[in-house]
Chain A
Amino acid sequence: MLFFSYFKDMVGREVTVELKNDLAIRGTLHSVDQYLNIKLENTSVVDEDKYPHMRSVRNCFIRGSVVRYVQLPPDGVDIELLHDATRREARGG
């Protein structure tokens, strides 16, 4: 649940989602669910010339299972908070 909660806190922030097919999509995090499926708004593909596949798409749904990385804004990571949450999670709380 940690990552689910974490991403929920990130809603509204700008993120870049890199998929397992090397496609990288940037956009505003709109929502996330328990499978870590991700919805982005105002999307753009990072290498759009190479991959024009999403040219006519502004909002998209990304299946959690195909996500390789999510690049976060640098200030989006509160290390203290994350440590705490991780410990809590490890205790099974």
Chain B
Amino acid sequence: MAILNSEFPPSKDGRFSDNRLLSCRVRVLSSYEALIFIFLLSQLPLSLLKTAQGHPMLVELKNGETYNGHLVNCDTWMNIHLREVICTSKDGDRFWRMPECYIRGNTIKYLRVPDEVGGIKILANLGVTRHGYTCLVTHSMGLLGVIDKVQEETKSRGDRKPPGVGGRGRGRGGRDEGAAGRQAKGIGRGMEDAGAKGRGKGGPGAKSGGKGGGRGRG
């Protein structure tokens, strides 16, 4: 692992070019690696849902009613707490507004989440690639930090503080940002920070840290 890492490090500030990302992508998609990514990078429906905390989403129930609101929290049964909710009747002809609501998981038919929530994950897939293999094992949070920067670079440059600044406070990243829209950044920052601290950390530690980051926001 260490060999791989030194062979393909991201530069000091964690940037690497898009080209590299793309060329790596091909390698990732071998089935075994893909499997690891799926599970370790939380490509699990409930983890994705967790990632969507603070984001707007649409929940359709089995009875046809839909609920539009911001996800406050969710649990392993898919029970969902929404805020600023608009409920729509099955036929779409009646509407109710409510400050918040709690939905029992087993009544849900599906959830529609904003694309950018998955975007984090997809980029993670891309970024993981070759150097990510190492990162996964040693410090997967660091890896996600890198991905955050790629995003910053390609999309929202100048939108927030320059990348270097984020290295300090994951607590910050988590707490300040609170609500929707900032989520992606919050995660990235938290991860990156943890990665910087604990290089040698194993997979599970890294994972739980990631979750913690998610919760802090809720």
Question: Are A and B in contact, CB atoms below 8 Å, in the complex?
Answer: no
